[in-house]
Structures are given as structure tokens and as C-alpha cells.
Structure 1
Amino acid sequence: MSCLQNNSVFYVLINQRFPPPLSLLFAQVMVNTEKERVSLLFMKALVSRGSVDAVSQQMASHPQYLESFLRTQHYILHMDGPLPLPYRHYIAIMAAARHHCSYLVSLHSAQFLRVGGDPLWLQGLEAAPPRLRLLDHINKVLAHQPWLTACSHIQTLLKTGEQCWSLAELVQAVVLLAHCHSLCSFVFGCGTDTDSVPLPKSPNGTPPTFCPFDAANGNANVPLSLATPSEHMTRRRVTNQAFISYKLKHQRLTEHNAEEEEMMYFADPSRFITDPDFCYQEFARREEDHFQVFRVQDYSWEDHGFSLVNRLYSDIGHLLDDRFRSVTTLPSSHSADLKRAIWNYIHCVLGIRYDDYDYGEVNQLLERDLKLYIKAVACFPDATKTSVCPLPWAPLKPSERIHVNLLIMEARLQAELLYALRAITQYMIA
């Protein structure tokens, strides 16, 4: 991509929203550097939404990944699909609420209303249509204990009756749930959610313990105190440098109104959840036979999940696959072995194992404090605060810290999708 004129869609949007000579100015901006690539992405966001959300700002240090992330998110929330737009944002609210993520609940509440959603639904989950309430159980399971996802859950949702879901609708809903659950991990890991509601602790009073091989590395249970929520929610906005000198009044008003709208329709996440005590529990140790380990050799994203989801929800498989590939190939000071150790460690604590991987590498490459951080962000992000559980690599650049959080988010996303898609596959062949 050499200049904005090569992006015909964006060029048309600019001309529709801004009259000459401003549209001509924007069309002359070159995107031949990483910084300019980010500027282009931000300007697209300003054209379509009138603001740049805090998540995009955090990801901006990795424009290649940001582009892939925004493309996927835009597709599942706004493009053609079996679910109506209000349903999509309400499902996102339900998913974010499981982790008490005030930032995402507020954001999607505002977007829910913008696309014509019924304001009464925001009173709480009991005010939503029965079809949406039927998603509550699989939402809860995928968010906290995805290994419990079973064929019976799929069968319940697809059974005949007025409130039944079609297979295509369910697949889009599952993708939305997994996307928002994992995004909560990124939001809390980067400290974006500044006004979250404290989550009840685990039954033993502390967050869950480490994976079985943690003990072999001298890792004991480490309590995590819940940080005190801040009194006010911070809504940061980034204005692209290309706009600053012109001080566009329209843009300022748009951003101000968008911010007020988000605050006006802020909804308490607890309204959208049932069974609040249901949370992450340590996956059964290998010597116990309560749960069967998910072996990637039997059901993998590459050989099974990708083709199924792409067949039932057109093109989403390619978009998700691009995200997974993008995050693992980003330029980084982290070695390929370290990235794989982070990825496989997250999958392990969620019950997924790779027969061809030496898990001794996890203990060799990941320090104890780093493992604590990774598991906290991946498994119980709402109990995590950056001030309590900081990324333990002080010398790292901010972009490297963001990269770690991106790896956590994508590994968790793929894990949830594997469990859900395997259950759908079992239903289809039953």
C-alpha cells in the first residue's frame, strides 16, 4: 500500500464525511512507515466511529496485528452474518460481564443502543429475550472452565422450539463470546479497565493455583489481592497528528459526544451474569481422572477447527487464522521458543496438551513471576491489576509488554474456540 488513494474504500469514506480541501489532504497522506500505517488505521476508526477506542491505542505499537484484529472485530460485529446487530453487541456485553469488565460492558452497551437495541434489555439479563438468556450457560463455561463444554450444551441450544438457535447463529455467537472473553484478558492485562467491579475470590480465598508442573519448579500458591477500584472510569482518546493542526471542531464534538454516550449508558456488569461464584478452577491434575485432557493431536485448529468454523460462518476462519499467525510472527525480542512456551502454557492451564512438546521448556523459559502474570491474565483477568501483578520484565519496552498480552489473548481465544468447535463437531456427527 503506497498511499491512501490506493485504499479506494477509505478514500470514498473520507470524501463522504469531509469536504474538500480536507479530503484532498487526507488522500495525500503516505503510509510507507509503521507510524503512518497506525495513523491510517486510526483515521479509519475516526471516520467509522468518530473515536479511537483505548484497546486500539494499546495495540498501536503493533500495526500489523492491529489491522488483523480490527478487521476480524469489524466483521463479527458489523458485517453480514446470521445474527442481528443488537444481538451481537448484547452477546458481547454478556461475555464481558463474566469478567466484570466495565470498559467493554459500557462500550458495547453504547453500541447496542446505536444499532437500535431495546434499552430495556440493559436493565439486566432477565430483561433480554429468552433466546439470548439460553446462551448464559455456555458463556459461563467458556469464560471460566472451557473444558466443561459438551455436546449436550450444543444440543440444548439447537433443539427444536421457538427459542432454538440455528447452527450458523450459534457459531457466530460462540466466536463472539470467545473473542470478548479473550479481549477482557487484554484489557485487564494492559490496565485499560480502570473501574472494574471486584470479583469474588476462589473458594479457598485466593486465585487458583498453578499448573501441575509449576510445583516442580518451586512455584507455590501465590495470593493475589484485589486492587481497590478507581472512583472514576477513564476514557482516553487519541487524536491523530494529521488532524491536530486543523483542530476540527466536528471531530472534537463527535469524540465528546461518544464519550458522554458511553458514560451515560454505563451498565453494572453484575446485571448480566448468573451464578457469580462460578469461576476458574484448577484443571484436574493428570493423576486424577475427572476430566480428559484435550489433545491437539486429536482435534486441532489447523486440521479441524478452521475448516468447520469457516464452513458454518463464511470467511471468519481466514480472519481468525490471520490473527493467530500475525501475533506469533510479530517482530520481537522474544525468541520463537519463548513465544511457544507462553502459548502452550496457557493452553495447558486450560486443559489442552501437545504430545510433541517438551513441557520442561516452560519451566526453563518462563520465570515464576511471569507464569503468575500469564495465568492470572488468561484465567482470572478480573482479579488482576497491573499494580498488583505487573509484568515482571522491567527492561521491556512498552511494545514488548503489549506483545506478551497479545499472545495471552490469542492463545486463550484459540483454546475457547477449540473446545466449542469440538463440541459442535461431536453434535454434528452424533
Structure 2
Amino acid sequence: MTQFFGTDGIRGKTGSFPITPDFFVKIGYAAGLVLTKHHDLETNPSVVIGKDTRISGYMFESALESGFAAAGVDVYLTGPLPTPAIAFLTKALNADIGVSITASHNPYDDNGIKLFSNQGTKLPQSIEREIEEIVESDIKVVPAHRLGKAKRLDDARDRYEAFCLSTLPKNFTLAGKKIILDCAHGATYQVAPSIFSRLGADIQIINNQPNGLNINENAGSIHPEFLIKAVLIAKADLGIAFDGDGDRLIMVDELGQLIDGDQILFLLLRSYLQQNIMSGGLVGTLMSNLALEEKCKEMNIPFIRAKVGDKYVAEALREKKWIIGGENSGHIVLLDKHSTGDGIISSLQLIASLQSNQESLSQALSNFPMYPQKLINITSIGKFNVDGNEVKPLIEQANQMMEGKGRVLIRESGTQPLIRVMTEGPDVEKVIKSAQFLADSINQTSQ
């Protein structure tokens, strides 16, 4: 059963999401009405619509196209492309809004949308609320002469590839490097292999045969065990795994060790300092490893934690006028390179740094030990309130189990009906024990 996740805040008045295309027509129409309020009516406003590879994308793409056209909005259709490509194209084409049809790392039978402003940033909450107010209103099609037109962007992929390559130094090459790419059967399945091949890398690609039903299935950044195996068998220099819509990544070093977003962020921070292009501090999230915060303190770099979600990381960066931040899940935001998180660009910047320092990925991280973390996902059945009175004593007990030398986080997932429990500290056995205690307690409370 398809579930709809409004991953960037669009909510109907009822708070529920019908799984029929009708609702996507209404989203397109409502967004179109809001656009016309903020647009010179001498010309139609425009929208860029992209998608990942899940089968429902075909249906929802057509529905959105109809809704926007009915509101008098011209539509550019890109086909399957990474979410950050839609952000780039929205700005490059001077479109009014960008829409990526995706449920990111979720299974194929989920879907949702990510919305971008004309600056390639996540759509401001004020505009989202305007859309929300009218998303369930009746559709009144504009006069025939005002109807929106639709056009396929045949060069969308070429434009995005050129943009990614433009973030690298001139004459940069990956010749002689063996790299494994795991495309999660998702939106990067064409563009990532093309970019790395153009740079001269010896690439091996896994999980790049999307059929609409296999996105993220035993593949990509949420199933790194397959990338680890491929790197070790091929004796590759490193491996890169993207998620379904390509806005995040994890990596594997030449020894088969998993490298998460916090470690990637540390290496990019180090690179920015070496290049003398660092501005301000670094934004992590509530999930960021304590080791990253301590490393920033050691390097005299300001560090703050945003709410979980790359949107909140980017908002904090812009508020502070900083340029680098990210999540341990692999969303990396480099505002001097792109307006949003981009898995391909982040991986290219890190590899460029490794080559500049003439070191392997494992060597680069040899002086950055991470604190053990334990994450447990609990199916949310709506009976446990993460902000309820019962939470504080549970956290206090978990901290006592770690003898006050750790950190505890309990939160609701933003994209799935889950409660996420995370514990962290220097003693791995106590971290695991305290996390299991919290999970068991929450399950008992929810019954």
C-alpha cells in the first residue's frame, strides 16, 4: 500500500494523505495558485518536476503536471534525476519552484515530495503553509489561454553533470583510482557513473538496475554491507553508496570500514581549513556523534546542533552565515558548492581532499575515533509521546546506566512511523544496554 510522506512540511487540513493521484493534482494546483500570487502575471510561472525511480513516480508526475497546468503554471519535466539536480535546475532555469517526487531512503511503496524555492533552497515554511491552506479546495481551471504548458528537459542530466564537475579544480582527474558506486537502484543510477567515468575513474557499479520496485532494496546507504563486500573483493580505493534520491551518501574505505556522515563532515571541515575557505562554524544535528563536537572544540571551530533533517541544517547555516554542516546519516550541506545537500558533490569534494593530501580514506580518519552509538527504531503506534512526562525519568535511568558518560536521544522520525532511540558513550556495552532498556520501556508503555 502506497503511503505518502510530505517530507518538507505540506499537510492537508485533515493531516492525512490519500494515496490516489487526485491529491497530487491538488498539491500541484494549490502550489500553482500560490505561485501566481507571487508572480508577474504577464507570463506564466514555471515549475521543474523530477523524480526518483520508484514506480509510483510515473503516476504522481502526471498528476502534478495536470495540477500545475490547471493553475496556469508551465511545467519542465526532467525524468529520473537526483533531488539536488532539481534544486540546481530550478535556480538555473529561473523557475519559480522545484518539485522532486521521492520518498528518499524509504521502500518503493512509499512516496512523497520535496519542494524547492527559486533559489534552489528548501521551500520556506510560510509558502508551505499557504499551499496547505488551499490544498483541499476545489479546482477551478484557469481560462484556456492561461493554461500551463509542459516540456521535457532533454538536457537536464547534462546540465547537472556539468554543474557537479564545475565544483572541482581544473584538470582534476580520478585516473588510476578504483571506486565502487552503489546507486541504490535510485535516481543516481545514470548520472553518478557518468560523472565518475568522465573523471577517469576505474568504476564498478552495483545496484543500478532500477525496475520501479527495487529502490533502496538491500542496496544503497541504508544497506552498506553490500558495498563493503564489493570494495573488499575488488580491492578498491573506496566505495560510495547513495540513497534513493541521491541527496546523501555513506562511504567505505579501502579496508572495508564504514564511513558515516559525521566522519565525512570532519574530513570536509579539515579540507576547508586547509584551503583557507572555512567561514564561521559547523552545524550538526541532535544525532551527530559527540566526537565531532569535541573535535570542533579542539580545532576552535564553533559547533551547534540543529534538529534532525538537512532542511534544518541548511536553515541554521544561512542564519549563521556559515557554509558547512550535515547529518550522520550522510546528508552533507556545502553552501559554497550547492544550495542543498548533494551526495555526488560531497563525495567528489572529499575525494579531491584525499588526493590533495596524498592519503587513503582510512589514513585520513586515523586520528578521529568515534564514540559508539546504538540506534533502535521502534514502530510507532501512537501511544507513546516523546515529549510526555514519562520520558524524562527514562532518560535519567539510561544516563545512570552509562554512569553519566554518554548521551541519550528519543525522537519521532520525520519520514516514517517510527520512534528512534539513540544512545552514545565511551563504553559500547553500556551504550547498547541503555538503548535496549529504553526500547523495551517504550514498547511496554505503548502496549
TM superposition score normalised by structure 2? 0.27
More relative contact order, 1 or 2 (CA 8 Å, 6+ apart): 1
Q: Which of the two has greater helix per residue?
A: 1
Q: Which of the two has greater strand per residue?
A: 2
TM superposition score normalised by structure 1? 0.27
